[in-house]
Structures are given as structure tokens and as C-alpha cells.
Structure 1
């Protein structure tokens, strides 16, 4: 990876070979800092060394190319965001553009959140002046301004004149802040009218993030609540407070740098998604499913057909990058005389011995005689050719009788690759809490 000058020792701007993001101390957070906004430009020509620019000095900025602004949020300790270098590098890797880091650390650094929030309108004013001059420059096209709002609900384009609003093609907000912005009217927070296409990733809606939809499409990874791999208790230290909040940034980064693509599913609720009710976008007859991150705007033509053009989309992720999950349906047809309720754990293994597991236990499934239940299974690996499948049935009861689940047919079908052969097993009895392993066969074409 390229070494960028984000964490260099900070000297006075005039002394710096490569201007760096402002690094402040915890002492600065205690006493507070006055606002000073610094715009740092990166291009493929100066990929590792920023240029400080302003409304009268554009430096290497090429106004005929797309421009992406990266705006950070509240900084309670004064340290630079650890992800900014990766975000700049990733954006310039996928497209030859201008990337402008909006460094307002002098202003965002404070222990008093309200002090930082109050300065967001002033940051927007600086951006307004800069964008105004960009648009006055010869050759500027309307689809070449893109603003990425990172962890900040308050710095939105409502503070820009209406003549500019229509020229901002895309605005991405990564877990916009909830405190002081929840319940605010549209003019005081992020809103779909802020750009031609607004997409939002909500990863911490029960703490630091904003709960309600704010854009044309709002993504809720893992329901927007606790993110896998993040500490569950305060014993996790600072990560307990910021891991969920920061996950939105790393999910966006994965769309720039990773080999897999995170697919989301338009849905009214996380529960409906987990219950497999929101996967119609994967069929050939429907619009394709929206993609998370940099390529989310590929879905905007579909949104134009909606009234209002707003959608919530849900998906699950793995604990660590590349975060992708691979979705399958497990169709189970049973013939028990009595109704059985419980959870299913399914494990897949390929010829090389690689295994991946999915626990479908978010709520008990109800198995009735001659009634097919379709369960949505999510795996963190995609095994092309499945050699063995194992199933475990559990009612969750520690005491009491051990039940059996009598299966007439089990079918496994891939959502991501519906053209793959569907795998079946017929006449199977699962004993509660006992793993049953078998080799699947191709499903009968008569029953596909």
C-alpha cells in the first residue's frame, strides 16, 4: 500500500513538504479549538502528497473530472481518522478523479459534542465558496461533483445555494450522527433533496448514529445495530463506543478495494429480510439488487420510478473484511404429525475440505406436516461445489424430551448464483442437537 502523509508530524503549513491532516492532542480536546478548515487535494498525479487548495488556488485540481469531498465528523481526541488514507487511495484506484479531504479537525476536536455540531454550518459555508468557484470555471459539468459526507449529519448541502444543489450528483453519508440531529427538520440535517442521489449507511442507530431514513436509499447492515466483530461490553475499551459507528466507513471501503460485492435487499424491516421475504430483486424479471458503497448510484434509475423515491435496504455482514455474505435458501418439507418449532444450523463443505456455517436462529421456524419452510441462510464463504451438507435441529430447550424433525425433502439453492444446480436430500430424520451429515444430490427436475 502507498504511504500517504496523513500521520506525518505536523509542522506549520509553510514548512511542510507534504501538508498533513491536523493532529491535535487530548489537551486540545479539553480546552477546545477554534474552527479552521483546510482543503487537501489528492489526484493520481499527487497520490501520496497533498496540496492545500482554496477557492482562489485550485492546484492540480482538474475541473473536467469528478471531484469527491471527504468530510469527517466529531473528533473527541484530536487524532486524525485512521481510515482517511485508505479512503483516498481506494477512490483514486477506482477512478481518475480529484479527492479533496476537508480537514476541520480544528473545530471538530472537543470533548463537548455540541461545540463541534455547532460549527458544521460554517464548514458547509467554506465548501459552498469552493464549489461555487469550481462551477464558475470553464468546462465544469453537472455530474462531476460528488460529495462524500463521512460520519456527519450536520454538514449537508442545504447550506449551499440552490444553483449548486442540482449539480451535486451524489452524496454518501456514512453513519450520520444521531445526537442533536435526530428529529430535526430537513433544513437542519441530511435530506434526499441535498443531491441528485443520496445514499446512507446506518451502522449504529442505537447509539451514535441516526435511526430514520435520510436518503434515496438507506442501507442498514446487520439491521443497523450491533455489528459482528465489535465488542459487546464496555470491557472492549474505546472500541466498544466507536466500532459500530466506524463500521460504515469500512463497509464503504470494501466496495473500493475488495474482490466481493456487498448486495443489499430492499425491505420494510430487518426481520422481513432475515425471514427471506425481500429477495425478489435477485430474479431475472426484477431490477437487480442495490450494491453497497461506491456503486450504489447504479440503482438510482430504479428509484426514479418510485414515489417517493426512497428505499430502505438490509443485509448481513461477516465479522471482518471483506465482509461479504453469500445467501442461500434452505427449503425444508417435513412430515411430522405434530408441529415442531426450532432453529436450523447448516454447514457446507467442498471437496477441498473448506467449510462454512450458517445458524438460522434469529427466531424459531415453524415446521408443519407437508408444509415447505424456506429459510434464508447466510454464509461468509462461497463454496462453488458443495460435497457435503450437515444439519442440526434445535428447539433451544435444555430440559425435556428430545424431538425429531422428519424431513421429506431438503433443498439448497443459491441466491447469488441462481443458475447453479440446486442440491437436495430426501427422507431424512434429524435428532435434536445431533449433527447429521450427508452428501447432497441434484434435485429432481420435476420438483425444481
Structure 2
């Protein structure tokens, strides 16, 4: 196992012009790469590290959004560039950090899941090293990235918000105690074959169209991806006003009539209803109005 990981590390380092890893055993998270974006840096971003000195390109005292891709993804693939684009278009003063954990994300699902503790702990170390205050941090994670976000929160208390985008099955699940406000968007939790877990785990859990099949989708993968697509649309184009449900049954039969709460967006805190269960019905194409 380690030999294959080390070879991946060599290849990644060569591709990025980084020093070749030494023969010591590297912890999983040490293969992470981090890229900073804001309106003051170049479009290609600035790579951040956990050594040397903190970056002067990080805007101080503003919201920092950390975006974590899922199994099989990279920082250059959806949802990372989509979310980053919308955030930078909306907000003049915001930092976006794209996490690349593709070395392990490219392995088997089991191997990727086994690595998420170290990967999340390393992200927490980066935030501390770069002097980014937890109270200014919003972590957005898709698939296994949602649970990595939870590990960051477990390691670094006081994270303002975590948004889990259709969290997938894991041995280390995201929990409402991982941040001051945890929001989860469930889009593919309807069966044993689904990609998502479909169970309540945050302060506010949103179940668009019931949380199972999504309009315009014919596959489970499409349903799964709708989570990050809805979140992306929520930043600029759709408030996704959702109704509070008194129970999962009300959510399932579309009888939710409680107070409204907007799904998604970049607000660091929200006040959900007592049940924390929400349903919103969407359209079948972007921006899903």
C-alpha cells in the first residue's frame, strides 16, 4: 500500500515542481495541496503551504471558504471551480481555498475513506499555520469531502460553518458538533445503491425534492451531483427558500409548511427550525428555479 502511495507522491511532486518526498513514511494528509483564490491574486491561484511563513496573499479578517472535492475528484474538477467562480463574482472580500487530495481520492473508495482522518487533520494544520481564524471559516465538502470537512471541525474547534454536499458512506461521519453551524444537502439518499447517506446529521438538513430523485436526472450519479450544483446556484442565482418539516414523513410526502430557510449560500450562521428538516422543490435545469 505504502509503495503505491509513495509512487503517487513522486508523480505528483514531479508534475507540480515540488521537492520529491523523502524515504520517511508520509502521513496521508501530507500529500494534500492547497490553492488560494481571491480578487487580489492571479486567476491561477496561489499555492499555500504549512511551512515557511504564512502567505501575505490571504485577505485578513474576511470569510474564508474551503472547498473539498470528493472521491475521484481533483481541485481542478467540479465542484471546486464552479463554487469558486460564483463566490468571487459575488463577494469582493472573500478567500477561497481549494483543497486537492486527489492522491487518495484516485484510489479505491475504501482507501480514500481510510485516509480522511489524516487529510482533514492536515487541513486544520494549514488553517492554523496560515493564521485563519476558525470563526471566519466556511468549509464546503462534497461526497467524502463532507466528512473530511467534519474532521477539520473535530480537529479545530470553533469553525463557523460546514456545508456537507450529499455526504457519502463513511466510517467517520460528519456531525452537527463539528462546527457552530452544520448544513447538509441530501440529493441521492433513496436506496442501498445511492451515493449519499440520506440521514439527518446537521443543524439543518435540506432534502430537495425529497432528497432522492432529482428533476432532470436519470441516474444516481446525476442525483448525487445535484447537491453541489444546487449549492453553486444558491450563491448568486437561487435563494432556494425551503419549508421546515415536522418529520421525515412530512418531507417524504411533500407536506412541509413550516418556516422558511434558504438552502446553501455563504452565510456563516443560520437559525433553523426545531426539527432542522427542510424540503425545497426545484426545477430540472440551472438555476433550478
TM-score under structure 2 normalisation?
Answer: 0.80
Superposed counterparts of 1:77-226, under 5 Å: 80-95=76-91, 96-110=93-107, 112-134=108-130, 137=131, 141-152=133-144, 153-158=146-151, 164-166=156-158, 168-178=159-169, 181=170, 188-206=172-190, 207-226=194-213
Cα distance, 1:280 vs structure 2:
3.7
Task: For residues 251-294 of structure 1, give each alpha carbon's deviation from its aligned partner in whole angstroms, at most 9, with x where no partner exists.
Answer: 00111131x4211111145653576643242xxxxxxx100111
Residue 245 of structure 2, aligned match among 267, 279, 293: 267
Superposed counterparts of 1:44-443, under 5 Å: 44-46=39-41, 48-56=43-51, 57-75=54-72, 80-95=76-91, 96-110=93-107, 112-134=108-130, 137=131, 141-152=133-144, 153-158=146-151, 164-166=156-158, 168-178=159-169, 181=170, 188-206=172-190, 207-231=194-218, 240-258=219-237, 260-269=238-247, 272-273=250-251, 277-281=255-259, 289-295=260-266, 299-300=270-271, 302=272, 306=274, 311-324=276-289
Cα distance, 1:125 vs structure 2:
1.8
3-state SS, counterpart of residue 43 of structure 2:
coil
- For the pair shown, the structure with the greater C-alpha radius of gyration is 1
Instruction: For 2:248 and 2:42, locate their aligned partners in 1 and report how far apart those are by CA, in whole Å.
Output: 40
Q: Determine which structure has the larger strand proportion and give its number.
A: 1
Contact 1:228 1:317 in 2 (8 A): yes
3-state SS, counterpart of residue 52 of structure 1:
strand
Task: For residues 159-186 of structure 1, give each alpha carbon's deviation from its aligned partner in whole angstroms, at most 9, with x where no partner exists.
Answer: 5566x312x10100100112xx2xx5xx
**Where does structure 1 lack aligned partners over 5 or more consecutive residues?**
1-9, 16-32, 232-239, 282-288, 325-448
Contact 2:134 2:157 in 1 (8 A): no
Contact 2:124 2:152 in 1 (8 A): yes
3-state SS, counterpart of residue 74 of structure 1:
coil
**Where does structure 2 lack aligned partners over 5 or more consecutive residues?**
1-12, 19-27
TM-score under structure 1 normalisation?
Answer: 0.53
Task: For residues 27-49 of structure 1, give each alpha carbon's deviation from its aligned partner in whole angstroms, at most 9, with x where no partner exists.
Answer: xxxxxx99721001101112511
Counterpart check, 1:43 vs 2:38: yes
Instruction: For 1:132 and 1:297, locate their aligned partners in 2 and report how far apart those are by CA, in whole Å.
Output: 19
Counterpart check, 1:12 vs 2:8: no
Q: Determine which structure has the larger helix proportion and give its number.
A: 2
The 1:199–1:189 alpha-carbon spacing in structure 2 relative to 1, beyond 3 Å, is same
